[in-house]
Amino acid sequence: MSLLHSFYCWGHVAVVLLSTAYFTLAGVENWRWLPLLWAAVPLFNAFFYGKVPLCAPVPEHLRIPLRQLFSKKVFLLFLVMMICAGASEQAMSQWSSLFAERGLSVTKAMGDLLGPCAFAVLMGLSRLLYGIFGARLKIRRAMGFSAALCVLSYLIAVFSPRPLVALFGCALTGLSVGLLWPGTFSVVARAFPQGGTAMFAVLALAGDVGCSVGPGLVGWVSAGAGLPMGLLAAAAFPMMMLVSSVASRRKTA
């Protein structure tokens, strides 16, 4: 699961690099054409996914109904974990470019490379390494360590007096959040092996909610108190992730 999710990160890196190249050649004032160019990717996938072989889902008579899943407190904790995973990831990813521009007084192109690109590289690296060596580690402990490291990364980015160290905290966040999303998927799959496709769809929905809430909270707080305070507010998500992970571990035990 972690190795599979690492390819999201490599796609993220490609988007940043190619978009930066476009802005350099065509100019930022022509940004309206860039979404049309990137629209070719989902258009291609619309045909490509039709040929992808899929494993047979859990038989209907064995699948756990969603209503039964929502009645279990531990599943609700898993949903909270997914929200926190998405929020922890995107709160920094979406704002790291502006953070780099203001902190280091660099251009947007350099801010994109030092911010979201470095973030995505380290996030992909963490998922790749766990996919290769993860069998030697206990996923619960690895996720707890990742959540704690994520809190520390946010604090470094916010409170470091040196811009380069603060930017290092931004990149380190990518390394720390890499396992949170796929790790939660893996934990839920072990806890509810008969959950079926609908269960993973709900989990993905919760993660996407977090992807919206995290950057939104940073923007709302930053509007009144500045970007560092916005990122500090977002540090609540990996903290909640850590608490929820410990609580779900006790309930599943």
pTM (2 decimals)?
A: 0.88
Per-residue pLDDT of the chain (253 residues; tens, 9 = 90+): 788 889 999 998 999 899 989 988 998 889 999 999 999 999 998 888 888 877 766 666 677 888 898 998 899 999 999 999 999 999 998 888 888 887 777 777 777 777 888 889 999 999 998 888 877 888 888 999 999 999 999 999 999 888 888 888 888 999 999 999 999 998 998 888 888 888 989 999 999 999 999 999 999 999 989 888 999 999 999 999 999 988 887 776 5
Number of domains composing the chain: 1
Q: What is the 3-state secondary structure (H, E, C) of the chain?
A: CHHHHHHHHHHHHHHHHHHHHHHHHHCHHHCCHHHHHHCHHHHHHHHHHHHCCCCCCCCCCCCCCHHHHHCCHHHHHHHHHHHHHHHHHHHHHHHHHHHHHHHHCCCHHHHHHHHHHHHHHHHHHHHHHHHHHHHHCCHHHHHHHHHHHHHHHHHHHHHCCCHHHHHHHHHHHHHHHCCHHHHHHHHHHHHCCCCHHHHHHHHHHHHHHHHHHHHHHHHHHHHHHCHHHHHHHHCHHHHHHHHHHHHHHHHHC
Domain that holds residue 227: 2-252
Q: Can you give the CATH number for the domain in which 139 is found?
A: 1.20.1250.20
